[in-house]
Amino acid sequence: MADTSGTDWQVVSDVLCAAGEAPFWSAREERLYWIDPPLKRAWRLHVPSGRTEHWGFASPITGLTPCRSGGFLLLLADGVYHAHSWLDIPTLLAVLPSVGAEALWRAGTCDPWGRLWLVAQTRDATHRAAHSSTLYCLRARSSNPPPLEPIRHQVGDGLGLCWAPDGRSVTWCNPRRGEVVQAALSQPGRWPPELSAPMPLTRFAMPPDASSAPPSPNAAPFEGLPRSGTLDQTGHHWVTLIASGRVRRLDGNGRTVLDLHVPALYPTGVCLGGEDGCTLFVTSMRSGRGAAELERYPQSGAVFARRVDTPGQPAPLYWD
């Protein structure tokens, strides 16, 4: 089932981000939150009033996670910080271990035991591609500081982590390999966690390489690269596909159920929320997009929303 028009989307605020990422919905506040790492900002939108606010930082913010107390965890250049409220002065909660000068840290999401999962990507000499990534887990705040432990090495890109509601499996995107993968958690709730080797849930055809031989006439067409994801209440996985401007809904076996075209070629983040949980929110990228692309997709960098039939899961919380 496909929607090729993209006309059902609405722009929910007049903010154009360099690269909007990691959206989540707060049902208690009726607010959508997201980050813009290149511009060193976190954003929030109060949907009933349409009021948008931002929170600026001295370094790129690469993770914003809601806490059980009502505050936030912030992933900044040197550590994981805790803030009791919006615009509060953050305090250092956990120092990031040294994993290389070119490391890029990204916060994933929390599991059902209130633990935050992060990914550390070490960079190659070009500063562009991640060549080694490790999943880390920050324990719930039963001690101060809570331990931050490496759990699984060589996890690909490790983007868009989604935990199953029972905590027995986690899914993430590897855009460089064109795949969505899933790993199982043995003895859920145990510390430290033990995660199995990731196995592909679905694969997407990679874009043609201009330096290689022409693709076979029978080769699968390029459909985009998976960048982020979220789970709905039926266990279906919504995945953004960059370079093709799509959000795809996959069933538990990785088969396509629905294909939605977005008014931006690079949709970078996705979540479900709204009053009944049936609003699909998608962030997008504007930075680095060429003039021809921006002429065709002038709303690149915006946050889009549209109605869907199935509600999402509540945003997972860090137990602080």
d(CA 234, CA 223) in angstroms, rounded, equals 24
Contacts by 282-286 with C-beta closer than 8 Å and gap 24+? Answer: 282/9, 282/23, 282/240, 282/247, 283/17, 283/20, 283/21, 283/22, 283/23, 283/34, 284/17, 284/20, 285/17, 285/18, 285/19, 285/20, 285/242, 286/16, 286/17, 286/18, 286/19
What is d(CA 249, CA 237) in angstroms, rounded to the nearest whole number?
A: 6
Interstrand relation of 179-186 and 169-174 (parallel, antiparallel or unpaired):
antiparallel
Q: How far apart are CA 170 and CA 16, in angstroms?
A: 31
Does 217 map to a domain?
Answer: no
pLDDT in tens, 223-276: 999 999 999 999 999 999 999 999 999 999 999 999 999 999 999 999 999 999
Biggest CA–CA distance in the chain, Å, is: 59
The whole-angstrom separation of Cα 135 and Cα 275 is 33
Confidence of residue 46 (pLDDT cuts 50, 70, 90): very high
What average pLDDT does the structure give for the chain?
92
- 21 marked among binding-site residues: yes
Residue 55 has a CB neighbour count (10 Å cut-off) of 20
Residue 274 lies in a domain: yes
Q: Is residue 113 part of a domain?
A: yes
pLDDT at 215 over 60: no
Residue 219 pLDDT class (50, 70, 90 cuts): low
Give percent above pLDDT 70 in the chain: 91
Domain count, the chain: 1
What tens digit of pLDDT does each residue of 52-87 get?
A: 999 999 999 999 999 999 999 999 999 999 999 999
Least confident of 9-18, 68-77, 203-212, 302-311: 203-212
Higher pLDDT, 261 or 219: 261
286 part of a folded domain: yes
DSSP letter at 19?
B
Cβ–Cβ < 8 Å for 73, 146: no
DSSP state of 221: P
Most confident residue range from 90-99, 208-217, 305-314: 305-314
Which of 112, 78, 107 minimizes the C-alpha distance to 93? 78
Inter-residue contact 108 to 102 (CB < 8 Å): no
CATH code (residue 80) = 2.120.10.30
Contact 92, 138 (CB under 8 A): no
| CA neighbor of 1 nearest in space, from 270, 308, 279 | 308
Q: Looking at the predicted structure, is the pLDDT value of residue 200 above 60? A: yes
Q: How much is the pTM?
A: 0.94
Alpha-carbon distance 92 to 21, whole Å? 22
Q: Note whether residue 46 is domain-resident.
A: yes
- Residue at 313 is within a domain: no
320 falls within a domain = no
pLDDT score of 316: 96
CA separation for the pair 15, 6 (Å, rounded)? 20
What is the band of 209 on the pLDDT scale with cuts at 50, 70, 90? low
In a domain, 285, yes or no: yes
Does 309 show up as a binding residue in the annotation? no
| Top-confidence residue, 123 or 118 | 118
Which residues span the domain enclosing 268? Answer: 2-205+224-307
